[in-house]
């Protein structure tokens, strides 16, 4: 009988130890999940690149990038906004799909925008939208800008944008643009993209004011 009592005490002790260990593990996992939820969202990645990385890092990953002054989406007949650079790379792929071009924009030496351009027929053939959904989840047709929800305007006959946002960056997808056989996917670092856009509008307003003064 003493042996039986000893076995019971051992089982009770082991059960107590197991309960304590499981409790510690559970608390540790819960704490880890809580810590992860407190971490700020990270910018979206585009294959080997991540929004916000340095110009040097992007060029190292994309040797075809030859930076030029200005923004890839601005009027290149006008002086470039100070601090902006861009490059256009051909002959690349995304999700196995061949691209016409990959356009990258930089501000103060940091990547803030990447646009992937391809024919609409190619995007449909390779189901680029399906690949984006698989990686980033279901998109929306609206986006949050400066805390307000809005629906981006599109050309007549053009399908609505498909949009993904994670709080710091935005992905916009258009499978066709008007009657053009053009499909565009853009990745933007929100704060920097808005800043560059604002600075470009300010420069344009100053230019128009100077022209009026000279009239």
pLDDT tens by residue, the chain, 215 residues: 555 555 555 455 555 555 444 454 444 555 555 455 568 889 999 999 999 999 999 999 999 999 999 988 777 777 889 999 999 999 999 999 999 999 999 999 999 999 999 999 999 999 999 999 999 999 999 999 888 898 998 888 788 899 999 999 999 999 998 888 899 999 999 999 999 999 999 988 888 888 887 77
Domain ranges of the chain: 45-211
**Rounded distance, CA 161 to CA 163, Å?**
6
**Rounded distance, CA 166 to CA 159, Å?**
23
Q: What is the pTM of this model?
A: 0.79
């Amino acid at each position: 009988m003493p042996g039986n009592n000893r076995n019971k005490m051992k089982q009770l002790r082991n059960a107590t130890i197991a309960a304590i260990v499981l409790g510690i593990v559970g608390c540790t996992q819960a704490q880890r999940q809580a810590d992860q939820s407190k971490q700020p969202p990270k910018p979206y990645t585009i294959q080997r690149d991540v929004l916000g990385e340095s110009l040097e890092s992007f060029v190292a990953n994309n040797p075809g990038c030859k930076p030029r002054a200005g923004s890839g989406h601005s009027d290149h007949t006008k002086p470039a906004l100070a601090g902006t650079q861009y490059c256009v790379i051909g002959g690349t792929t995304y999700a196995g799909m061949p691209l016409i071009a990959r356009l990258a924009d930089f501000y103060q030496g940091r990547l803030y925008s990447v646009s992937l351009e391809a024919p609409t027929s190619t995007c449909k053939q390779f189901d680029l939208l399906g690949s984006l959904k698989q990686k980033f989840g279901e998109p929306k047709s609206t986006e949050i800008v400066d805390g307000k929800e809005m629906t981006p305007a599109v050309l007549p006959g053009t399908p609505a944008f498909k949009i993904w946002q994670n709080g710091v960056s935005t992905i916009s997808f258009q499978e066709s643009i008007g009657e053009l056989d053009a499909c565009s996917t853009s990745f933007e670092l929100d704060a920097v993209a808005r800043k560059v856009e604002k600075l470009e509008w300010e420069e344009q307003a100053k230019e128009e004011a100077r022209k009026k003064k000279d009239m």
